[in-house]
Amino acid sequence: MKYLDEYRDGDKVKAQLKALQERLTRPWQVMEVCGGQTHNFLKSGLDGLLPEGITLVHGPGCPVCVTPIELIDKAIALARQPQVIFCSFGDMLRVPGSKEDLLSAKSQGAEVRMVYSPLDALKIAEANPEHKVVFFAIGFETTAPMNAMAALQAKQRGVNNFYLLAANMLVPPAIAAILSARDCQVKGFLAPGHVCTVSGYVEYEEIAKQWWVPIVVTGFEPLDLIQGLYMLITQLETGSWKVENQYRRSATRQGNLAAKALMEQVFSVCDRKWRGLGPIPASGYCLKPEYADLDAEKVFQIEDITAEEPKECIAGLVLQGRKKPTECAAFGKKCTPQHPLGAPMVSSEGACAAYYQYGIKLRTS
Amino acid sequence: MSEGGLQCPLPLRQYPNVLLAHGGGGQLSRDLLHHLFLPQFENPLLAPLHDGAVVEIEGRSLAFSTDSYVVSPLFFPGGDIGRLAVNGTVNDLAMCGAKPLYLSCGFILEEGLKMEDLQRVILSCGEAAKEAEVLLVTGDTKVVEKGKGDSLFLNTSGIGLVERPLLPKMVKPGDAIIVSGTIGDHGIAIMSVREGLEFESEMKSDTASLYPLVAKLLDSCQQLHCLRDPTRGGIASALNEIAGAAGVGMVLEETAIPVRPEVQGACEILGLDPLYVANEGKLVAFVAKEESDKALEALRSHPLGKDAAVIGEVATGQEARSCPTGTVVMHTAVGGERIVEMMSGEQLPRIC
């Protein structure tokens, strides 16, 4: 299939692996930020082919994983309210809150619907004027424009039964937070190609300059990943720290200006709590005051719900790249995709799920 | 919890209510089966957990199978619930190495269902039965109040005469793993209608009676060991089930697995893996390696099997270290390795 097969070409990947091996003179620890990249490293089997000197650690770029547990509890509380139709991306439905997940709430009668886009949720609102329709607006810069568009269209069309449980996160502050740890061992980053397609990478240039750390904006196919790694290792080996763009077929320095303008119209930057990472200043989007009547947290008065993450789950350390999923005592035993303790075991972008789905038995045999 | 003599509290404690994923054909379905149903129903005929049971009556081996159909929408490109229900049970019988003969058909109708739709489904059941050369010999109809059923549910049961016994435990190290054609067609066809997704070319369900393919395989291969139609949970779940039941490991070659470009494209968009998407007109065959060419030739001689391909093999002694019992390993397109796990829960679309 065009635009896919050429990026999965075994011979080209092998040639790039050989070039990478030749470039390497000493060990490096690098982080792929996006969970989609983590999954594709494992799904393609590329992780097992990397030269020994390269240690990949997995970053916080899994939107479902970093959504804090109390927000799931808030979502469930909303879904259980009579008259509420709660709409969410499918990934979010199985993430455990402090007591249950959204699918369990659904099985007990809560009106929970899976949608592919917030605009679908808006349509549901228009078709059900007697109900209150809440969309779980999670994700990074990639989903924020859609969420902003839904809010804007709700206003324009005068739909007054549509609300957002706003929870968008921003990637660069999380990278900065990881770097600011005193014992951070990460020497370079593969930045998320899809996020940068929307936001551009000007902000990443600031991070590279401030922390002297090379960053390569990278795609998701095997050849993208291995080429991104090659570019990153080349920078490390030659003592360079700039932002390079491997994903040129999609990402640009300025990003998608129309999408950014839309986000600025609807959202303002605010502090956010991240699952596993804790509160990070200026790391998320909140609805602007003129959109307060769409803000589910305010309208439904659920701001007071709080919850703590389970102690057994080391999701925080995994999301910071400090531990591999297999270093968790619960991994594959108490914590499996069927009985997850934390979000990284559920999400299609979670590192623990990737290890379980594509490799646990190989690794433990 | 002790009411009803339930011995295993695990699934009840974890899930006080049934989830959709309990019917998804993956790990949760397996948990339900093993912890809730089997402890009560256990008997030697049920034990192989094959697509149907094989029972001996006065020296003849009969295959007996049942399946219920709740697909939504009722009509989809390439088929409808009626055709699916007939072919589904016909295929379950065929996977036991049997010639399907007689079917029953139970209709559960919701008050308000359009008579025209019911008529279309019944016509379609009749046509599918004629094509599969089976007789619908008994049936039942029930009507439930509006809101108590989703327009129409169907159950079919069937019996067939076993021509040669085929069972998961007959699978041997070194066997070739053959799939009869492109995977994921049915699941993607349904999903594209259900979710209102539009693609340039229409995707059709592959629903079909597989008995003609089975008859050809039985004719040409003396060492045909096991058959399975990979419906819910896709070929990944079917292979894992057989690997577990047969106590073997399996090795797949990613580049050998036939997938239509439009199905691959839809899967990329939805974040699905075609290995886990349902099929309704494909079979997976385990054949001794020396007969794999014969099997391919037999399958390809029929239009339903024209894209048949060897997609891997049952692990032999040398591979056993990297491919332990009950495990399905895949050699990936870029030369790496990964595990192909049983599906867990429903396949959910990704969000970005």
Shared domain check, B225 and B88: no
- ipTM for the predicted complex comes to 0.84
d(CA B230, CA B184): 10
Q: Residue B259: its chain A contacts at CB < 8 A?
A: none
Model confidence over A238-265: pLDDT tens digits? Answer: 999 999 999 999 999 999 999 999 999 9
Of the candidates B238, B218, B222, B241, the residue with the CA atom closest to the CA atom of residue B230:
B238
Alpha carbons B322 and A94: distance in angstroms, whole number: 31
A136, A145 contact by CB (below 8 A) = no
pLDDT interval class at A311 (50, 70, 90):
confident
Which pLDDT belongs to residue A349?
84
**Torsion sign over Cα B299, B301, B305, B309:** positive
- Nearest Cα residue to B310 out of B328, B325, B288, B326: B288
Q: Which structural domain range is residue B206 located in?
A: 168-339
- Other C-beta atoms closer than 10 Å to the C-beta of B173 total 17
Contacts 24+ apart (CB under 8 A), B109-116: B109/B141, B109/B142, B109/B143, B109/B144, B109/B149, B109/B151, B109/B152, B110/B143, B110/B144, B110/B145, B110/B146, B110/B147, B110/B148, B110/B149, B110/B150, B110/B151, B110/B152, B111/B143, B111/B144, B111/B145, B111/B146, B112/B146, B113/B151, B113/B152
Range A68-167+284-299: architecture per CATH: 3-Layer(aba) Sandwich (3.40)
- Which residues of A are less than 8 Å from B345 in CB distance? 94, 337-338
Q: Please report whether residue B52 resides in a domain.
A: no
Q: What is the DSSP string of A273-305?
A: EETTTEEEEEEEEEE-GGGGGGBHHHHTT-TT-
Same domain, residue pair B334 and B191: yes
Residue B149: CB atoms within 10 Å: 17
* Interchain proximity B348–A14, CB inside 8 Å: no
> What are the tokens at B219?
């004719």
Model confidence at A43: pLDDT above 80: yes
Mean pLDDT of chain A: 93
CA distance A302 to chain B (A): 25
Nearest CA in chain A to B13: A339
> What is the Cα–Cα distance from B129 to A59, expressed in whole angstroms?
54
- Contact check, Cβ <8 Å, A362/B333: no
pLDDT tens string A164-191: 999 999 999 999 999 998 889 999 999 9
* pLDDT tens, position by position, A80-127: 999 999 999 988 988 889 988 999 999 999 999 999 899 999 999 999
pLDDT reported for residue A305: 85
Instruction: State the pLDDT confidence band at A134, using cuts at 50, 70 and 90.
Output: very high
Domain membership of residue B288 (yes or no) is yes
As given in the structure block, the two tokens for residue B72 are 């939504």
Amino acid B2: pLDDT:
37
Q: Indicate whether B351 pLDDT > 70.
A: no
Whose tokens are 């790694």? That residue is: A229
Same domain flag for B250 and B317: yes
Chain B CB contacts of A349 below 8 Å: 350
Instruction: Tell me whether B104 touches chain A (CB under 8 Å).
Output: no
Looking up residue B153, the CATH number of its domain turns out to be: 3.30.1330.10
Size of interface A-B (CB pairs under 8 A): 125
Burial label for B204, CB within 10 Å (0-12, 13-18, 19+), is middle
Report the distance separating Cα B352 and Cα A117, nearest Å.
10
With left for phi above 0 and alpha for psi between -120 and 50, is residue A87 left, alpha or beta?
Answer: beta
Cα–chain center distance at A173: 13
Q: Rounded to a whole number, what is the distance in Å from the CA of A337 to chain B's nearest CA? A: 6
- Residues B174-205: tens digit of each pLDDT: 999 999 999 999 999 988 887 777 776 778 99
- Of B339, B342, B317, give the one whose Cα is nearest residue B328: B339
Q: Do residues A352 and A345 touch, judged by C-beta distance below 8 A?
A: yes
Instruction: Say if residues B115 and B75 touch (Cβ distance below 8 Å).
Output: no
pLDDT score recorded for residue B3:
38
CA–CA separation, A179 and A2 (whole Å): 38
**CA-closest candidate to residue B83, choices B95, B71, B94:** B71
Three-state SS at B48: coil
Q: How far apart are CA B331 and CA A45, in angstroms?
A: 8
Q: Would you call B344 and A338 a contact, using CB atoms and an 8 Å cutoff?
A: yes
Residue with token string 């058959």: B227
CA distance B267 to B192: 11
Q: Is residue B333 part of a domain?
A: yes
B240 and B319 in a single domain? The answer is yes
Whether B195 is in a domain gets the answer: yes
- Report the number of distinct structural domains present in chain B: 3
On the 0-12 / 13-18 / 19+ scale of CB atoms within 10 A, B330 is: buried
Q: What average pLDDT does this structure show over B97-108?
A: 97
Domain annotation covers residue B233? yes
Write the pLDDT tens digit of every residue in B119-150.
Answer: 999 999 999 999 999 999 999 999 999 999 98
Share of chain A above pLDDT 70, in %: 98
B331 with A138: Cβ contact below 8 A:
no
Contact criterion met (CB below 8 Å) for A72 and A96: yes
- Does B351 fall in a domain? no
* Per-window interface: B 38-57 vs A, CB < 8 A: none
Q: Is A339's CB within 8 Å of B14's CB?
A: yes
Whether B185 and B160 map to the same domain: the answer is no
The angle formed by the CA atoms of residues B300, B188 and B302, to the nearest 5 degrees, is 15
Q: Residue A285 in contact with residue A144, Cβ under 8 Å?
A: yes
Q: Are A347 and A30 in contact (CB under 8 A)?
A: no
State the pLDDT at residue A359: 81
Q: Which of A10, A64, A116 sits opposite B335 (nearest CB)?
A: A10
Number of neighbouring beta carbons within 10 Å of residue B1: 9
Choosing among A362, A363, A364, which should be mutated to test the B contact, i.e. which has the most B CBs within 10 A?
A: A362
Going by the DSSP 8-state scheme, the letter that residue A24 receives in this structure is -
Contact with chain A for residue B344, Cβ under 8 A: yes
Give residue B14's pLDDT.
67
Whether residue B254 contacts residue B201, with contact meaning beta carbons closer than 8 Å, is answered with no
- CB contacts of A96 in chain B (<8 Å) are none
Which chain A residues touch B322 with a CB distance below 8 Å?
Answer: 362, 365
Residue ranges in A62-200 assigned as alpha helix (H): 63-66, 69-79, 102-107, 118-127, 144-156, 171-179, 193-199
Q: How far apart are CA A98 and CA A275, in angstroms?
A: 12
CB spacing of B349 vs A43 below 8 angstroms: no
* Residue linked to tokens 């369900």: B205
- Select the residue from A116, A123, A196 to test the B interface by mutation, using most B Cβ atoms within 10 A: A116
Is B332 found in the same domain as B186?
Answer: yes
Type of residue found at A298: K
Residue A41 tokens read as: 């490293």
My answer on whether B35 and B86 are in the same domain is no
Q: Where are the domains of chain A?
A: 68-167+284-299
Backbone angles phi, psi at B314, to 5 degrees: -75, 130
Q: Which of B331, B334, B352 sits opposite A142 (nearest CB)?
A: B352
The reply to whether B220 and B285 lie within a common domain is: yes
Residues 224-263 of B with CB under 8 A from A: 255, 261
What residues of chain B lie within 8 A of the CB of A13, using their CB? Answer: 334-335
More confident residue, B215 or B191: B215
Same domain, B194 and B294: yes
Q: Domain holding B308: CATH number?
A: 3.90.650.10
B7 vs chain A: nearest CA distance in angstroms? 20
DSSP SS3 for B2: coil
User: Cα separation of A274 and B41, whole Å?
Assistant: 47
Structure tokens at A62: 């899994």
Residue of B nearest to A102 (CA): B19
CB of B14 within 8 Å of a chain A CB? The answer is yes
B99 occurs within a structural domain: yes
What sign does the CA torsion over A249, A218, A261, A209 have?
A: negative
Three-state secondary structure call for residue B75: strand
- The token pair that represents A219 in the structure block: 């795609």
- Helices and strands, counts by H and E, chain B: 10, 14
